Amino acid sequence: MTAGPLAGVRVVEFDAIGPVPLAAMILADFGCEIVRIGRAGRVPSPSADGPILGRGRRCITLDLKNAADRDTALSIVACADVVIEGNRPGVMERLGLGPDACLAANPKLVYGRMTGWGQTGPLAQTAGHDINYIALTGALHAIGGADRPVPPLNLIGDYGGGSMLLALGVTAALVSVRTTGTGQVVDAAMTDGSALLMTMFYAMHAAGYWRDAREANLLDGGAPFYRTYSCADGGHVAVGAIEPAFFAALLTGLEMDSAGIDQSDRTAWPALASRFATRFAERSRDDWAEVFAGTDACVTPVLSLAEAPHHPHNRARATFAAPAGPMQPMPAPRFSATPAETALVENTDSATILKAWTE
């Protein structure tokens, strides 16, 4: 057992794809003791079952359609503080492992449910993926080039609006249990979470500061001082010089005269972006990184997944490491008194895991 801020909290993770494995990994990093119940006959996932997303918890395999195995699962739940699952609404109930059954066995249990559409609503039983969930919240519409939306990986629905919302929800519910002595169900939906992440943009839109179009606003690539540019070697730089002082530093690094340039003049943005593009295309990505190093121009190289772990800042903070072989992100955020860590858990046989969990 690790000594993170959630040390002593016991979590049962019912095998799932998408945001549930990441939420469980985060909880494990924070010190939770986790048993993952895998489905019998399921083909292992190279990501969810690997040493990165699968880190920090022990795994057993049960056939939840078998009565004896369901009883075993319920006995594990009875000894837990938290359950997290990612099935469609009604699946766990049909297995006899829904919230009512589990809370009857363990009244202080926090039962975390992760779905795309939520437990209720006309789409609750409909299939979908991250791209579908963020499409209905305005998030996908706001991201991409002017000609079409572009999916931002699956960071907004699955992970930002899913994993993080689930981890926060069950942690908040744990605090409530300590106050009230009563468990509850946490209904975490990726549509709800991705909508929540869009709060600032809805606020800006309501105030008249955000056009409901792509590449037309301050933070969506519309501003010439907040976008990426191609360099001579095919690499890219990210420019985020929003504040006037930072914009001035950007012009200095580009060796451009500020005369006649009005950062706030939106009608001039396309022409200014073209000038910046021409200038950045004259040198390599790393040349520009050197030019802007140590300045407040907010210009950084766009690093690949292979490059990012080796950047001096990431190395200084140990943002990435390879504790179990492959390079991977380390726990975040940082805690001063109860530091999180990547627990290297040795998976023993199921009987040993069950004995240690239920005794």
Token pair for 218: 């301050």
pLDDT of residue 1: 45
User: Nearest 5°: CA angle at 352, between 351 and 356?
Assistant: 115
Decide if 141 is catalytic: no
Q: What was the pLDDT predicted at 3?
A: 81
CATH topology of domain 226-230+236-301: formyl-coa transferase, domain 3 (3.30.1540)
Annotated catalytic residue within 49, 63, 69, 129? 129
pLDDT in tens, 139-191: 999 999 999 999 999 999 999 999 999 999 999 999 999 999 999 999 999 99
Task: For residue 162, give the DSSP letter.
Answer: I
Model confidence at 346: pLDDT above 90 = no
The 10s digit of each residue's pLDDT in 93-142 is 999 999 999 999 999 999 999 999 999 999 999 999 999 999 999 999 99
Long-range CB contacts (< 8 A, 24+ apart) of 64-72? 64/37, 64/39, 64/40, 64/95, 64/97, 65/95, 69/40, 70/95, 70/96, 70/97, 72/354
Contact 343, 330 (CB under 8 A): no
List pLDDT tens digits, range 82-98: 999 999 999 999 999 99
Dihedral (Cα; 262, 263, 268, 270), 10-degree rounding: 150
The CATH architecture of the domain made up of 10-197+327-358 is: 3-Layer(aba) Sandwich (3.40)
- Position 104 scores a pLDDT of 97
The yes-or-no answer to whether 10-197+327-358 and 226-230+236-301 have a common fold is: no
Q: Which of 158, 187, 192, 220 is catalytic?
A: 158
Sequence spans of domains, the chain:
10-197+327-358, 226-230+236-301
Mean pLDDT of the chain: 95
| Mean pLDDT, residues 207-222 taken together | 97
> Is the pLDDT confidence value at 2 over 70?
no
Evaluate if residue 266 carries a pLDDT over 60.
Answer: yes
Residue 252: pLDDT band with limits 50, 70, 90: very high
In the chain, the N- to C-terminal Cα span, in Å, equals 16
Are 112 and 170 within 8 A, CB to CB? yes
Do 214 and 146 touch, CB atoms closer than 8 A?
A: yes
- Tell me the percentage of the chain whose pLDDT exceeds 70: 99
Are 166 and 189 in contact by the 8 Å Cβ rule? The answer is no
pTM over 0.75? The answer is yes
Helix residue ranges per DSSP H, the chain: 19-29, 67-78, 91-94, 99-105, 130-135, 164-180, 190-197, 199-206, 244-253, 269-280, 285-292, 312-316, 350-358
Q: What is the pLDDT of residues 274-312, one digit of tens each?
A: 999 999 999 999 999 999 999 999 999 999 999 999 999
Does residue 336 surpass a pLDDT of 80?
A: yes
pLDDT in the model for residue 127: 96
Closest by CA to 101, choosing from 114, 91, 115, 88, is 91
| For residue 347, pLDDT beyond 90 | no
Residue-wise pLDDT for 65-86, tens only, equals 999 999 999 999 999 999 999 9
Q: Residue 344's pLDDT band (boundaries 50, 70, 90)?
A: confident
